[in-house]
């Protein structure tokens, strides 16, 4: 094995595409070469599907790297990042299926935030945000409202606003917009994202989301597109609103004993704003401590619009009743940001899913000094904290000169069903049961204190300073 190589077993823990996304993003930042074996081994169609391959190509481009094994169906890849830091600029990616655009953003966003400006000779590729800071601009094509992945609306209305609140001026230029919706099976949606790079020497502050607070408002966005009649969006929204009004009585104390206002929007997307037929609904709740929790549901053939709306409402009510500060999608998406930040981050969440725990193990293995701990809120002392990584993380990732990742079978082979276009946005793995007891858990993370230009071999000093 070449010096510095990190080998990740893609079958460990949840064994899905998230391992690939997070590992490739962190490898692009550290500069360490990465091999991932047994890719998506626990999925019904193992190996790379178009959306995973497209996301890898996107990360490869931003970090100036080289990807080996990059073909649909491959169960093993090697990513060798370029010799310098990732570069700001304009990048595009097209799954040519309904593969999720939001999952591509998930892989690329951390890489872009720690990117350096392009060299003067490449000024034509430069992107500058309203604040005057260099940015990456991504144009992504595929599915915007795909199965088993957050919809694009979740990025625009939940993730992006939360990151802006958490990081203030550092994320002031962050902008995500849906240019055109695309649905299964053809995709052809367009998502654009402007991702600001940190100033030289700047570090992301630790995240603190420990008090859910009182619910101040719930917002409903429902849409229909293509040949679907306008009443579809209206029925989804009405059913969601009715279910929320009933359910919010159960969490009324959390709302201060008052009626929570619900803002409702039901729209029909014009032809230029959507390709094909589809519908969906996004809900999010705001609290007086700055938390925003989201939930969504996508329309399906043969499923009444009312059922779709009620499904989204039930998901949001579950998140609100838990008392957690983040929803099921956010809990694993914040892991990378906690790991890259400085100091100790703390987030109160519902029992971490296997998906979330896997993200923690990958971050601990690939970023120096990163450690996650779980404890019950109010519990004090190291004896009350539970480590996340342990033997599974050590066995799942091998470093420089090891014999390869444990359990990593199928190297370089095609997974079943890997040939052809397949995987049109149907990522599996979310919604798995948590190995932890119910209630709220406080997740703590000692971050790496990452900075623009830092590479993996540079140890961080006290306080995360390199």
Give the C-alpha separation, 34 to 26, whole Å. Answer: 9
Q: Compute, in degrees rounded to 10, the torsion defined by CA atoms 138, 144, 147, 150.
A: 60
CB distance 52 to 101 below 8 Å: no
Measured at the CA of 244, the angle between CA 242 and CA 250, to 5 degrees, comes to 125
Name the token pair of 209: 């989301």
User: Of all helices (H) and strands (E), which one includes residue 58?
Assistant: helix 50-62
Give the C-alpha separation, 405 to 118, whole Å. Answer: 35
Q: How far is CA 377 from the centre of its chain?
A: 25
Nearest to 75 by CA among 405, 407, 406, 410: 410
Told to judge if 231 belongs to the known catalytic residues of this protein, a careful annotator would answer no
The runs of H, that is alpha helices, within 286-381 are 305-322, 328-340, 354-366
73 φψ region: left (φ > 0), alpha (ψ -120 to 50), beta (else): left
Give the C-alpha separation, 345 to 322, whole Å. Answer: 20
3-state helix vs strand vs coil in the chain, percent to 5: 30, 25, 45
Three-state SS for 272? helix
CB distance 336 to 22 below 8 Å: yes
Give the C-alpha separation, 326 to 306, whole Å. Answer: 26
Beta-carbon contacts of residue 256 (< 8 Å; ≥ 6 apart): 214
Catalytic site residue from 52, 137, 221, 355:
355
Please identify which residue in the block is written with the tokens 């979310």: 430
Q: Is 274 exposed, middle or buried (0-12, 13-18, 19+ CB in 10 A)?
A: buried
Q: What is the DSSP string of 104-129?
A: HHHHHHHHHHTPBPPPGGGGGG--B-
Name the token pair of 463: 């306080």
Residues written for the chain:
466
Report residue 193: phi and psi, to 5°: -135, 130
Give the C-alpha separation, 65 to 384, whole Å. Answer: 42
Catalytic residues: 355
């Amino acid at each position: 094995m070449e010096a510095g190589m990190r080998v990740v077993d893609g079958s460990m823990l949840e064994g899905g595409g998230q391992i690939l996304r997070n590992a490739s993003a962190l490898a692009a930042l550290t500069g360490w070469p990465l091999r991932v074996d047994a890719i998506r081994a626990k999925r019904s169609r193992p190996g790379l599907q178009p959306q995973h391959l497209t996301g890898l190509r996107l990360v490869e481009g931003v970090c100036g790297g080289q990807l080996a094994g990059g073909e649909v169906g491959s169960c093993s890849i090697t990513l060798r990042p370029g010799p310098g830091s990732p570069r700001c600029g304009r990048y595009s990616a097209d799954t040519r299926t309904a593969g999720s655009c939001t999952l591509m953003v998930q892989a690329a966003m951390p890489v872009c935030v720690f990117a350096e400006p392009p060299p003067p000779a490449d000024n034509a590729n430069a992107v500058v945000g309203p604040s005057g800071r260099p940015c990456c601009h991504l144009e992504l094509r595929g599915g915007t409202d795909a199965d088993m992945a957050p919809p694009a609306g979740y990025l625009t209305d939940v993730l992006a606003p939360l990151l802006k609140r958490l990081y203030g001026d550092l994320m002031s230029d962050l902008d995500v917009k849906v240019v055109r919706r695309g649905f299964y099976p053809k995709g052809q949606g367009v998502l654009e994202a402007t991702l600001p790079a940190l100033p030289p020497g700047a570090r992301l502050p630790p995240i603190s989301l420990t008090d859910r607070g009182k619910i101040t408002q719930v917002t409903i966005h429902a849409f229909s597109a293509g040949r679907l009649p306008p009443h579809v969006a209206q029925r989804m929204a009405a059913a969601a609103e009715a279910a929320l009004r009933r359910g919010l009585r159960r969490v009324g104390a959390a709302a201060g004993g008052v009626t929570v206002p619900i803002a409702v929007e039901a729209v029909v997307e014009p032809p230029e704003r959507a390709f094909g037929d589809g519908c969906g609904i996004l809900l999010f709740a705001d609290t007086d401590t700055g938390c925003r929790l989201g939930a969504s549901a996508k329309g399906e053939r043969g499923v009444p619009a009312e059922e779709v709306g009620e499904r989204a409402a039930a998901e949001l009510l579950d998140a609100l009743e838990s008392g957690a500060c983040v929803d099921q999608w956010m809990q694993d998406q914040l892991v990378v940001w906690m790991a890259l930040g400085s100091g100790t981050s703390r987030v109160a969440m519902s029992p971490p899913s296997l998906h979330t725990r896997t993200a923690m193990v990958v971050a601990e293995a690939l970023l120096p000094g990163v450690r996650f701990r779980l404890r019950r809120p109010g519990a004090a002392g190291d004896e009350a904290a539970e480590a996340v990584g342990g033997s599974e993380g050590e066995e799942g990732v091998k470093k420089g000169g090891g014999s390869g990742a444990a359990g990593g079978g199928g190297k370089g082979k095609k997974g079943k069903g890997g040939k052809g276009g397949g995987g049109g946005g149907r990522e599996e793995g979310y919604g798995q049961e948590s190995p932890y007891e119910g209630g709220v858990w406080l997740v703590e993370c000692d971050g790496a204190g990452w900075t623009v230009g830092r590479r993996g071999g540079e140890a961080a000093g006290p306080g995360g300073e390199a």
